[in-house]
Amino acid sequence: MGGYRGGKQTVEGVKCLDVNWLNRNGYFKTYFTPGKSALGTVRWTYNGNPSGDIRTRTEEGRFILEYKYRQGGEDWEEVTQGISLIWTSCNYGGQRPWFTCSNCGRKVGKLYAGSKYFLCRHCYNLVYQSQREPLHYRLMNKAHNIQKKLGGHPGSAYSFPEKPKGMHWKTYNRLYKEYEFYDNASWIGAGIKMGIIEP
Ligand SMILES: [Zn+2]
């Protein structure tokens, strides 16, 4: 499995269960019906090839996962994991589910197969890919996002966009200052990285 480059595993590199996706696709259909259990299968693919699947069912207020797990070259092991769901009211009516992390009890929308069990990203200490990008790169992105927000082209090669109609000068000037800050900072950051500037 990918996602283990440069130390920390990334959120994007491990199998993930999204509670809203499961809900939309009917996996919790019988959650509130006593004695009824909806069976399901979740399949993952990696580069277009099957990369494992798990069986799911609901049972007396729990969402049960069954799958095979193996660490390194060891034998396959059958794993059964029960996950409690929490339902909260939505602003526009209806209810939405949340997972309760089996390890820390956090209410989360996504669980990750960082190891044997599906747990929240805090428990597996997962980082987002973007958090692993070098600082100067993230600063540059912030500068570019301001250019895009104003309807301009992102990049130092492009001039800063004109003030859009209807935007207050105060807002525009603030965005320009922010842009300048991030743009300068990103060049300094890149300079440090390349050893041109001493930190
Ligand atoms: Zn957790």
CA angle 71, 72, 75 (to 5 degrees): 60
Kindly report the average pLDDT of the chain as a whole number.
85
Q: Indicate the pTM of the whole model.
A: 0.62
Predicted confidence at residue 1, as pLDDT, reads 37
* Count of all residues that appear for the chain in the document: 199
95-146 per-position pLDDT tens digit: 899 999 999 999 999 999 988 999 999 999 888 777 777 778 888 889 999 9
- If you average pLDDT over residues 88-99, what whole number do you get? 89
62-67's contacts with Cβ under 8 Å and 24+ in sequence apart are 63/22, 63/27, 63/28, 63/31, 63/99, 65/17, 65/118
Predicted confidence at residue 139, as pLDDT, reads 87
Predicted confidence at residue 5, as pLDDT, reads 38
Predicted confidence at residue 7, as pLDDT, reads 54
**189 pLDDT tier (thresholds 50, 70, 90):** confident
Q: How close is the Cα of 111 to the center of ligand 1, in Å?
A: 8
Residues near ion ligand 1 (Cβ under 5 Å): 101, 103-104, 106, 119-120, 123
Q: How close is the Cα of 198 to the center of ligand 1, in Å?
A: 40
Q: How close is the Cα of 100 to the center of ligand 1, in Å?
A: 8
DSSP-assigned letter for residue 70: -
The CB density around residue 108, as the number of other CB atoms within 10 Å, is: 19
Predicted confidence at residue 22, as pLDDT, reads 92
Higher pLDDT, 21 or 131: 21
Listed range (32-46, 77-91, 169-183) with the worst mean pLDDT: 32-46
Torsion of CA 136, 140, 141, 146, to 10 degrees: 150
Higher pLDDT, 37 or 43: 43
CA distance 85 to 184: 47
